Structures are given as structure tokens and as C-alpha cells.
Structure 1
Amino acid sequence: MQVVQVHEGDGPVILAFPHVGTEVPSEVWARLNDEGRVLRDTDWHIHELYAGLIPGLTTVTATQSRYVIDLNRDPSGVSLYPGQTTTGLIPETTFDNVPIWSQPPGAADVAHWLEAVHRPYHAALAAEVARVRARHGVAVLYDCHSIRSEIPWLFPGTLPELNIGTNNGTTCAPALEQAVTQIAATSGHSWVLNGRFKGGWTTRHYGRPETGVHAIQMELSQISHLGAEEPPFALDPARATHLRKTLTEILATLADLAPRLAHS
């Protein structure tokens, strides 16, 4: 079973796609209920949205659904947002708190899929971070996500279109955070820095600016690029084209700033 696809680029920016996968092993599929089989909380079309935006990008893309195991959760099971509603390593419900299992997973399932999917994905991602940093003296890990714009179980109201996470400024150099927020502020999209989503385990685990590894999470509200946030979750060409312009500017700016960080 191939759990991760890697494309090696020659630039300093790495795109991670932990939640675009829609493959589900047969033994997991048999235990999902009808709601679970919708795979509602997939980051629909995100890898397509970012495809070819700037030259030189490295991409690390998961193939398995987050319902198999969530690659953006701490493997120890510790909550990323203590005291707030969230889902775990293997989600028991959708983001609307609707059960997804006819036969819920247990501790043995978590242990198995950690070994079979979570660890291989992060081994591949860590290898790319090391390769890019060795080449450029710096690596910028940009963790790509999306989520429905209104999910009362997780957050009140409507989510901004661009949700930038740096774990309160700890996972990347201030210059990178400032550059991304400046672009967001003039993009015509609603945005927030370190709002409900401050960066998941990937951003927090890899983002060590003092070692030359900078990490930023971008959580896109799906209303910014989908026709509707319900099945079949189709990409809206006009919205996607508008959003891709902003994402191109962000990635190009990060790639341009990276060499300066390496020599600062």
C-alpha cells in the first residue's frame, strides 16, 4: 500500500498535503457507516489548487483518508487544542459530531495505522525537509489544508477564507509571517492569523526557525474554492482561479525570502 507520494523540487518550499487522500483500506471501509463513507472532511481538491503555482516546489501528498488516521495529529494522542472541541488520531465523528463508524476503532487500530500510515508519511516529509535544508540552508514547510466554512461544533460563525497558522509566531521567522499576512490583507479574501487554527502537529513539530526549518499552515475555507461544501464537493473554476493568484503570490514570496533567511 502506497501511503505517500513525493515530488522532489529544486526550490526551498515544500508543500505538505496530509488530508487530500481518499483511499481507504478494505478493512477500514467495511467498518465505516454510510456517513463515514462520504469522507466529508477530506481537503477536497487542495492538491489541484496548488498544482504548478511556482517552479521548484517539493510536494508530499498523502493517499489515505484522514478517517484511516489523521496525519496532522500528535502521534502520542495529545490534543493540539486543549479544552476545545477537536477530533483525534482516528476520528470517531465528522466535524459536525456525526458518528462515522458502524464498528468503532480501538487502541489496536490506532497502533496499527500509526505504524502503517502515519510514520511512513512523516518519514517521507522529514526526509524532504532535510534534503531541502541541505540544499538551500533553509526549508520552508507550507502545510496545505481546507475546511468547511461553517462548523458550529468546532467554531462559531463563519471561518475566514485564509487561516494562517504559525502557533503564535513560534514556527517561522517573523519576516515570513509578516509577508504572508501582508499578502492576505490585500488579497480581497477574508483572513486571520493564529485564529481558531494556529497550526496542527505538522507545523508545530517541524517548525524550528533556529534550525533553518520554517513552517506555516494555511487552512483555506472551502467556500473560497468549492462550488458547494456538500457532495460532490466540486471545484468552482472562477473561485479557484481567483484564489490561485493569491496563493501564487504567497508561495513566490516565501521562495524569494528563503535564501535571505539562510544567510541572515
Structure 2
Amino acid sequence: MQPLSATCELFEVREPVEQSIPFVYNSPHSGRAYSQAFLERSKLDAFSIRRSEDYFVDELFSSAPSHGAPLLVANFPRAYVDVNREPYELDPRMFSGPLPSYVNGHSVRVAGGLGTIPRIVAENMEIYQGRLSAEEGLARIETIYKPYHACLRRLIAKTHTMFGSVVLIDCHSMPGSVRVGAGALRPDFIIGDRYGTSASADLTHAALQILGDYGFTAVRNKPYAGGFITEHYGRPARGLHALQIEINRAIYVDEQTLEKRADFALLASVLSRFVAQMAGAWAGIANDDALAAE
């Protein structure tokens, strides 16, 4: 198996000087380190293969450490390995050899070409010229997927131990073409809480309220309620809360050129205030819950 890149770490944790809030921020789809070996095996050029990227989301939330929260950032691209899937959502048609029996080859995401090793990017743009070996697919899971989740689990466990609760904010972007409801509303943000199962409803409402106060259109769960990460790590009854935040790419990047828009820095500044206000909102929610339990 070719290494993804000879010069970059697969992922990194941007730590605060001191963790002062019970939050962990995660950007699993903003990686943009495409190795030459990967590109040579693809049907797509170096521009087209980026179509499934969450462009610059790590930069939009780069302020999290300055507010006292760690930020986990993937450098490997989603087109290579998607850590927002079950560990073994693999399409047997992509591989030249048999896959282990524990592989989930029949999920909706696999059928759509968006398994743990994706078959496509964007609108049905096939990635590979030919099949991969089963060994290579499984190796990507062992060397990238599993270490990434082990790191995320450590951050969550450490935060939970320090504060007694933890809020995971899983940071993503969505195409500007996304519309919601009969009125064809174009949301600026979607907050996903797995229909109330991955986080406190008060926390979800706080996120929506903060974004709405900034003048953004923010909606809940539709069409993105949260992926594997939100579902897997959100356990509100145990003090583990997970929200997915989707940002409409059209408000900060030109989707045709992938160039940042002029007000990119302004949006990053607004999201810095969002990080601070979410921490304040959670402190109030947690305090109210504690008083109610007495």
C-alpha cells in the first residue's frame, strides 16, 4: 500500500494551552493531502477529486483552541477514507478479492457509493480506474480510520473525566444546492442531533438560536441529522453530547473554483463567537440540570 503522503501527518490535534470548556471540535472531512499515488489511480483530476471535501472547515473553526477546546483535524481526504462511517462499510464491487464476513456491504451509504472507502465523490463521479485489493482497503481502515477514532475517543474521555460531561461538535459543510421543505429554503446551517438522540434538546436549541441571532437561516436535522460520529459518540444519558454542524459552502467559498470568498475571515470570526457562546450556553444548561436534580 502506498502511503498517503510522505510529508504530512494523517491527522492532528490542535490543543488549547489549557482546556477550559467541556467541548471537543472535530473536522473529519476537511483533509486535502492528496498523494500522487492516489491521484494516479483515480479517473479524476486533482481538482475534481476534491468535490467531496468539506472545504476549509478546519480553518473556519480554527479558533476553538483559543477558547479552550481541542480541535481534531483530518489531513487525509474523505475520498481516501471516510471516518464518518462504520469501520467496515465497504462495497464488495470495489475490491478484487473477498472481504471478511463482518463487512457491511449492504448499507444505504455503500449503495450510494459513499462507504468507508468511497467509490464516488459529489454527484456520481467515480474515483477509481480499477478495483482495489481487499488488503489495501482493510489496511486503510487499520492505519487511518482506527487511529483517528482512537484519538477522538481519547479526547472525549479526557474531557468527560475533567468536566463530568462533554460536547462533541462535528464540523462539516454542505453543497450550496441543498434545499429544505416545500418552500425550497436554502439553509445556511443545519444542526444535526440524530432527531434528539445524540444531544440535549436545550443544546440543539441553543445552537440554532445563536446562529439565528447572527442573521443566518439555521434548521434542524433535515436533510442532515448527523452521521456515524454523531450517532456513535452521542450518549446524552451518560453526559456525552454530540452535534453535527453543516455549513452551506456557498456562503464562504466559490464552489466552481474552490477559492475562498472575500468574507471568509468574517465567517470565521462569527464562528469564533459561536464557539464562545456555545460554551456559555452549555454552562447554563448544565447548571440548570444540576439544580433540577437536587
The whole-number CA distance in structure 2 between the counterparts of 1:92 and 1:236 is 30
More deviation, 20-29/39-48: 20-29
1:148 aligned onto 2:175 = yes
The 1:254–1:151 alpha-carbon spacing in structure 2 relative to 1, beyond 3 Å, is closer
The 1:92–1:86 alpha-carbon spacing in structure 2 relative to 1, beyond 3 Å, is closer
The equivalent residue for 2:246 is: 219
Q: Contact 2:192–2:245 (CA<8 Å) still a contact in 1?
A: yes
1:8 CA drift (Å): 2.5
1:56-114 deviation line (CA, Å, top 9, x unaligned): 12011111011111011111315886799562112211221121222243543321111
The equivalent residue for 2:12 is: 5
1:20 aligned onto 2:30 = yes
More deviation, 251-260/90-99: 251-260
The whole-number CA distance in structure 1 between the counterparts of 2:58 and 2:206 is 23
The 1:37–1:236 alpha-carbon spacing in structure 2 relative to 1, beyond 3 Å, is closer
The equivalent residue for 1:172 is: 199
1:172 CA drift (Å): 0.7
Aligned-partner SS, 2:126? coil
Aligned-partner SS, 1:217? strand
The 1:158–1:55 alpha-carbon spacing in structure 2 relative to 1, beyond 3 Å, is same
1:42 aligned onto 2:76 = no
The equivalent residue for 1:195 is: 222
Q: Contact 1:4–1:120 (CA<8 Å) still a contact in 2?
A: no
The whole-number CA distance in structure 2 between the counterparts of 1:171 and 1:29 is 37
The 1:40–1:82 alpha-carbon spacing in structure 2 relative to 1, beyond 3 Å, is closer
The 1:160–1:14 alpha-carbon spacing in structure 2 relative to 1, beyond 3 Å, is same
CA RMSD of superposed structures (Å)? 2.7
Q: Contact 1:161–1:221 (CA<8 Å) still a contact in 2?
A: yes
1:3 CA drift (Å): 1.6
**Amino acid aligned to 1:29:** L
The equivalent residue for 1:254 is: 278
Residue in structure 1 matching 2:159, options 125, 132, 144: 132
The whole-number CA distance in structure 2 between the counterparts of 1:99 and 1:143 is 26
The whole-number CA distance in structure 1 between the counterparts of 2:85 and 2:204 is 23
Q: Contact 1:13–1:58 (CA<8 Å) still a contact in 2?
A: yes
1:140 CA drift (Å): 0.8
The equivalent residue for 1:60 is: 72
1:117 aligned onto 2:128 = no
The whole-number CA distance in structure 2 between the counterparts of 1:234 and 1:70 is 24
The whole-number CA distance in structure 1 between the counterparts of 2:267 and 2:121 is 29
In the alignment, structure 2 segments of 5+ residues that lack a partner are: 1-7, 90-103
* Identity across matched positions, percent: 26
The equivalent residue for 1:73 is: 85
The whole-number CA distance in structure 1 between the counterparts of 2:225 and 2:24 is 19
**Amino acid aligned to 2:260:** L
The whole-number CA distance in structure 2 between the counterparts of 1:4 and 1:242 is 24
Residue in structure 1 matching 2:256, options 230, 235, 239: 230
The whole-number CA distance in structure 2 between the counterparts of 1:185 and 1:84 is 36
Provide the TM-score with structure 1 as the length reference. Answer: 0.87
Q: Between Structure 1 and Structure 2, whose CA radius of gyration is higher? A: 2
Aligned residue pairs total 258
The 1:20–1:82 alpha-carbon spacing in structure 2 relative to 1, beyond 3 Å, is closer
The whole-number CA distance in structure 2 between the counterparts of 1:244 and 1:163 is 19
**Amino acid aligned to 1:68:** Y
1:31 aligned onto 2:41 = yes
The whole-number CA distance in structure 1 between the counterparts of 2:45 and 2:81 is 17
Aligned-partner SS, 1:32? coil
Aligned-partner SS, 2:83? coil
The equivalent residue for 1:207 is: 234
The 1:110–1:30 alpha-carbon spacing in structure 2 relative to 1, beyond 3 Å, is same
1:26 CA drift (Å): 4.4
The 1:108–1:37 alpha-carbon spacing in structure 2 relative to 1, beyond 3 Å, is farther
**Amino acid aligned to 1:190:** T
The 1:26–1:243 alpha-carbon spacing in structure 2 relative to 1, beyond 3 Å, is closer
More deviation, 49-58/115-124: 49-58
